[in-house]
Amino acid sequence: MKVGKNTQLEGIHKMRDAYAEGTYQRAKQYVEQFYPITDDNAFRQSFVGYLRKQIAGEKYVTNVEQNINWHTLEKLSSTYSEYKVNFDAYSYDLILETPKQVEAWKMLEKVCNVLNNSQDIALVIFDPKKDSSRVRCIVFEDGKFIPSFAEVKSLLNT
């Protein structure tokens, strides 16, 4: 049963991918000072490999190769590869797999509904000074009580 989305991991991946895209833009800007990029996908695969292949394919001898700081380009390529995220390889869905987990989740949703609609009861469970819940399977997030996916998944992982 899908009960939510791992927005924290998705956010981390989006930040990493944005950093990789910035690195790609810097590399592209740097290379285009010396040589035009005609195949963007091939360039994304390997900045250095693409440029070396293009230079090797030139009919006329050029001095482009000696003007390029290959170390800088290698570093940009390495950083891009490290931070680039393949979003298709991840699922951000939070999924409960066993009947016990699903049952516990549904019960906790009912408890959270009561807590969210009754400030008196909520104050007994939640101490605003400590910003933590006294019930392990319930967390206070975005101004409301919700079941803790991690706790339900770990407590009832059978």
Predicted TM-score of the model (pTM): 0.71
| 7-58: pLDDT as tens digits | 889 999 999 999 999 999 999 999 998 888 999 999 999 999 999 888 887 7
47 close to 27: Cβ distance less than 8 angstroms? yes
Our CA dihedral for 127, 130, 131, 136, rounded to 10 degrees, sits at -80
Residue spans of the domains in the chain: they are: 2-89, 96-155
pLDDT at 128 over 80: no
Minimal CA–CA distance to 135: which of 112, 101, 114? 112
Q: Is the pLDDT of residue 81 over 90?
A: yes
Predicted local confidence at residue 11, as pLDDT? 95
